[in-house]
Amino acid sequence: MALPRGRDILSLLSKTTLYLFNALIELIMKETNRKKIWAISASDSCSGAGLQADLKMAHALNVECGTLVSALTAQSSFGVDAVETISVEFFESQWQSLKKDGWPQAIKIGWFPKNEIFITWLIEKLAAYKTECPQGWVVWDPVLSASQGGLETGELAQLKPLFLFVDVITPNEQEALQLTGCATAQEAGEALQQAGIAYVVISGGDSNTDKSVVESICFAGPNIRRVESQSEPEQSVLTNFMIQQPRIDKKVHGSGCHFASAIAAYLANGERIYDALLLASATMSQVIQQASETPSGYCNAWATAVDRNGLGNLPAAQWPVIVPLSDATEFTFPRVEQALGLYGLVDNLDWLDSLLELGVDTLQWRVKSPALYEQQYGEGSYQRDMQTAIERCKQQNIPLYINDDWPMAVELGAYGVHLGQEDMLEANLSAISEAGLALGVSTHTEWEIARARAFKPSYIAFGPVHPPLSKKLKYPPLGYTNLSNWCARISQEFPVTCIGGITTENIANIKDCGMPSAAIVTDLMVDNKLPQRHLKLRGVYP
Residue 81 falls inside a structural domain: yes
Clarify whether residues 273 and 415 are in a common domain. no
Which domain CATH number covers 422?
A: 3.20.20.70
pLDDT tens digits for range 191-204: 999 898 999 999 98
Rounded to an integer, what distance in angstroms lies between the CA atom of residue 532 and that of residue 347?
21
Whether omega for the bond prior to residue 464 falls within 30 degrees of 0, making it cis, is yes
The total domain count for the chain is 2
Mean pLDDT across the stretch 133-144? 94
pLDDT tens digits for range 70-121: 999 999 888 899 999 999 999 999 999 999 999 999 999 999 998 889 999 9
Clarify whether residues 244 and 392 are in a common domain. no
Clarify whether residues 309 and 349 are in a common domain. no
Clarify whether residues 442 and 522 are in a common domain. yes
The pLDDT of residue 149 is above 50: no
Q: What percent of the chain has pLDDT over 70?
A: 88
pLDDT tens digits for range 501-522: 999 999 999 999 999 999 999 9
pLDDT tens digits for range 255-287: 999 999 999 999 999 999 999 999 999 999 999
Q: Tell me the chain's radius of gyration from C-alpha atoms.
A: 27
Adjacent-strand bridge partners of 72 = 43, 84
Mean pLDDT across the stretch 294-308? 82
**DSSP codes of every residue in 529-541:** THHHHHHHHHHH-
User: Average model confidence (pLDDT) for the chain?
Assistant: 89
The pLDDT of residue 482 is above 90: yes
Q: Give residue 390's domain range.
A: 342-540
Residue 26 falls inside a structural domain: no
Laid out side by side, the sheet with 496-498 consists of 496-498, 459-462, 438-443, 416-419, 400-403, 362-365, 342-346, 518-520
Residue 12 falls inside a structural domain: no
pTM assigned to the model? 0.90
Residues 504-536 as b or e (16 or more Cβ within 10 Å = b): beebebbeebebbbbbbbebbbeeeebeebbee
Clarify whether residues 387 and 527 are in a common domain. yes
Clarify whether residues 320 and 458 are in a common domain. no
- Count the Cβ atoms, other than its own, within 10 Å of residue 81: 11
Rounded to an integer, what distance in angstroms lies between the CA atom of residue 542 and that of residue 536?
10
Task: Report which of 196, 191, 205, 189 is spatially closest to residue 167, judged by C-alpha positions.
Answer: 196
